[in-house]
Amino acid sequence: DQQVKQNSPSLSVQEGRISILNCDYTNSMFDYFLWYKKYPAEGPTFLISISSIKDKNEDGRFTVFLNKSAKHLSLHIVPSQPGDSAVYFCAASLNSGYALNFGKGTSLLVTP
Amino acid sequence: DVKVTQSSRYLVKRTGEKVFLECVQDMDHENMFWYRQDPGLGLRLIYFSYDVKMKEKGDIPEGYSVSREKKERFSLILESASTNQTSMYLCASRLGTSGSTDTQYFGPGTRLTVL
């Protein structure tokens, strides 16, 4: 049963605009959330994370928002650049556990 | 920087062959993981190891086994490869000393094709 869901398989955004990638989760015990970016034929690279004690974390053009009551998080990329075109995976974990629970990914295309 | 390397980027094997996928990390991480990535299914955990000689099944362990004889090396074994094991295999490692807040770092992946 998928505990982390990314309901949009793909997203297309114009260069310079904001990209918003969404992620929902079902397990209220998750307390740490991460976003990974993956180019074809490469391994995922860590992008940004957020602990459940926060509702926002920012790193340059990337900001992650967490809404615990809605069990929802989102990744904002501003401004979007063509090099941001990749598949983005949302992941969540339990403090007592080892493994990450991944969503199925959202393929972002940033067009010039 | 953490470096996770995988022995092959591309591999082609025949049905029934025994396949070894090797993963090495150079940061003295305690935890190591094997995932497979398939279109529309995201990343699914096959096995993980939280210490040398220790292993735990993930979500899809059937048809796979693992070995961790040394801290830096985690091997995934397909005892008898089948066509439904054609996939991208990703290894990851994590420091492991401070719980879930440790980020997992991934290798470049091995694209395995079973004919």
Kindly write down the DSSP assignment for every residue of B9-71, as one continuous string: SEEEE-TT--EEEEEEESS--SEEEEEEEETTTEEEEEEEEEETTEEEE-S--TTEEEEEEET
Which pLDDT tens digit goes with each residue over B37-96?
Answer: 998 888 999 999 988 999 999 999 999 999 999 999 999 999 999 999 999 999 999 887
User: Looking up tokens 């955004």, which residue turns up?
Assistant: A13
Does pLDDT of A2 surpass 90? no
Cβ proximity of A96 and A85 under 8 Å: no
For residue B65, the model assigns a pLDDT of 97
For residue A54, the model assigns a pLDDT of 93
For residue A97, the model assigns a pLDDT of 66
Mean pLDDT throughout B93-100? Answer: 69
Residues 73-102 of A with CB under 8 A from B: 89, 93-100, 102
Does pLDDT of B100 surpass 70? no
A1 to chain B nearest CA, in Å?
10
Nearest to A98 among B4, B40, B48 (CB): B48
- What is the rounded distance in angstroms from the CA atom of residue A100 to the CA atom of residue A4? 10
Which pLDDT tens digit goes with each residue over A7-27?
Answer: 999 999 999 999 999 999 999
Q: Is B77 on the interface with A (CB under 8 A)?
A: no
pLDDT band for position B97 (cuts 50, 70, 90): low
Q: Is A36 on the interface with B (CB under 8 A)?
A: yes
Does pLDDT of A95 surpass 80? no
- List C-alpha distances in Å: B11 to B19, B91, B92, B102, B110: 9, 15, 19, 31, 7
- State whether A99 and B43 contact (CB < 8 Å): no
- What are the residue ranges of helices labelled H in B1-115? none
State the average pLDDT for chain A.
93
Mean pLDDT throughout A63-81? Answer: 97
Nearest to A42 among B91, B101, B109 (CB): B109
What does the DSSP 8-state code read for residue B53?
Answer: T
Mean pLDDT throughout B20-47? Answer: 93
- What is the rounded distance in angstroms from the CA atom of residue A109 to the CA atom of residue B6? 28
For residue A37, the model assigns a pLDDT of 96
Chain A CB contacts of B56 under 8 Å are 98
For residue A99, the model assigns a pLDDT of 80
Q: Is B106 on the interface with A (CB under 8 A)?
A: yes
For residue A41, the model assigns a pLDDT of 80
Does pLDDT of B101 surpass 70? no
